[in-house]
Structure 1
Amino acid sequence: MQIIRYAELKPRPWRNGGGVTREVARFPEAGGQGAADGSWDWRVSIAEMSKAGDFSAFPGMDRVLTVVEGELLLLSVDGAEHPLEKYRPFRFSGDAAAAGALPTGEVRDLNVITRRGAFKGYTSIIELSKKRAHPVFDGQLGILLQGTAAVTPGAADGIAAGAEPRTLDRYDAVVGSDSASPEILGRGFLAVVSIDPAAD
């Protein structure tokens, strides 16, 4: 079972000075953490936006952006304004000219970027339960957005793993698996990021 600890991710300042990004995961991993040259086919990151400004373009990519902290991001995509409220994923083209304004102050957002024609990314926000565990499958990341939670390995080949639960801190990510799907219990909100191969 793999947990990506948010506290261990290195912040990368934006070129325009408007914020920082922490890369959670990418595929393929070659090229070094934080590279924005499009050498990867998908990337999941968490960004802190402290002032209004333009977003970097990602030609040939699709993006799903979700505000996870703060009240409102006013996103402009090719001149059209989209008010993005907390926990409401929004999909747009990485080719588009995009910029963000902060009418209610700083925000933190979850970004899923996938190469068009190769992968498609999805973000779902779910409310956790202390009674019913939420599994995280292969091709998924479970990211704790708010509250308290713990994760245990699921059963493998019908045999319970028997491992002690591991506590998750805010924005920690659990890497999914089909052979022993990690299971998350708690109270709060979880982002489930799914990266699916594009249909032929």
Structure 2
Amino acid sequence: MRILRASDHRRMPWKNGRGETVEIAVFPPDATVDTFDWRISMATVAEDGPFSIFPGIDRTLSILEGRGMELSVEGRQTVVLTHDFAPYPFPADAATSARLLDGTITDLNVMTRRGRFSHSVAMVTAPRALAPADGLMLVLCHLGEMQVTSREATETLSALDCVLLENGEAANISGDSEGFVIKLS
């Protein structure tokens, strides 16, 4: 298990310059927003407007905080995303814009380069057993405090901490918490 503490997440401007993103993890480790194969980040959205375009990238968006947003993705019906809405996958190279429902939100973004990686994102509550994944599995603690046990080790995650589990590593999560499981293959 590799722990990625919230205090160590990297802050940087959005690709379109209209806000700030908090990068949780990226591959390869020295990748930029134009060269990553996969990237997991959070963003605070304080105003309505267009999303950055990422050619050749698939994206999944989840609401972490705030009332939510109405998301318009070219070629799809408009959807309303809230904290209770399942993570929403869409192509990051389609023209996309958001309208906030009631003030600022924070979202979770998972992005993978098409043809190199794919991903899935699911909301989880503890306690739960997590089966091994083909590839990497990341567990993000969203609310509360979460204990993650894998093999002989147990780590405690606070809000926005993340654990990275290598190929084939199973885990159990416990505690009074909710979070997200991200699988990358």
1:51 corresponds to? 47
Q: 1:83 aligns with which of 47, 56, 80?
A: 80
1:158 corresponds to? none
Instruction: Report if the CA contact (8 A) 2:130-2:170 is conserved.
Output: no
One-letter amino acid of the structure 2 residue matched with residue 23 of structure 1: E
Instruction: Please state whether the residue corresponding to 2:166 is helix, strand or coil.
Output: coil
One-letter amino acid of the structure 2 residue matched with residue 117 of structure 1: G
One-letter amino acid of the structure 2 residue matched with residue 49 of structure 1: V
2:148 corresponds to? 151
Where has structure 1 moved over 2 Å in runs of 4 or more? 13-19, 132-138, 177-184
CA RMSD, Structure 1 to Structure 2 (Å): 2.1
Partners of 1:136 and 1:172 in 2: CA distance: 20
Deviates most, 176-185 or 70-79 = 176-185
Instruction: Report if the CA contact (8 A) 1:51-1:102 is conserved.
Output: yes
Instruction: Report if the CA contact (8 A) 1:71-1:104 is conserved.
Output: yes
1:21 corresponds to? 21
Matched residue count: 182
Q: Does 1:116 align with 2:83?
A: no
Q: 1:110 to 1:175 in 2, by over 3 A?
A: same
State the shift of 1:23 in Å: 1.0
Q: Which deviations, in whole Å up to 9, do the C-alpha atoms of 1:58-108 show, x marking residues without a partner?
A: 111111111121121111112742211214211111111111111211111
Q: Does 1:139 align with 2:139?
A: no
Instruction: Report if the CA contact (8 A) 2:137-2:167 is conserved.
Output: no
Q: Does 1:194 align with 2:178?
A: no
Q: 1:179 to 1:96 in 2, by over 3 A?
A: closer
Instruction: Report if the CA contact (8 A) 2:10-2:24 is conserved.
Output: no
2:2 corresponds to? 2
Rg comparison, structure with higher value = 1
TM-score (norm 1): 0.81
Instruction: Please state whether the residue corresponding to 1:11 is helix, strand or coil.
Output: strand
One-letter amino acid of the structure 2 residue matched with residue 97 of structure 1: A
State the shift of 1:14 in Å: 2.6
Q: Which deviations, in whole Å up to 9, do the C-alpha atoms of 1:130-163 show, x marking residues without a partner?
A: xx55466551100011122122332xxxxxx2x4
Instruction: Report if the CA contact (8 A) 1:121-1:194 is conserved.
Output: yes
Q: Does 1:171 align with 2:169?
A: no
TM-score (norm 2): 0.87
Q: 2:99 aligns with which of 87, 98, 101?
A: 101
Q: 1:179 to 1:120 in 2, by over 3 A?
A: closer
* Percent of residue pairs bearing the same amino acid type: 36
Partners of 1:54 and 1:119 in 2: CA distance: 25
Q: Which deviations, in whole Å up to 9, do the C-alpha atoms of 1:5-52 show, x marking residues without a partner?
A: 112212213355543211111222233xxx211x11111111111111
Partners of 1:99 and 1:78 in 2: CA distance: 9
One-letter amino acid of the structure 2 residue matched with residue 27 of structure 1: F
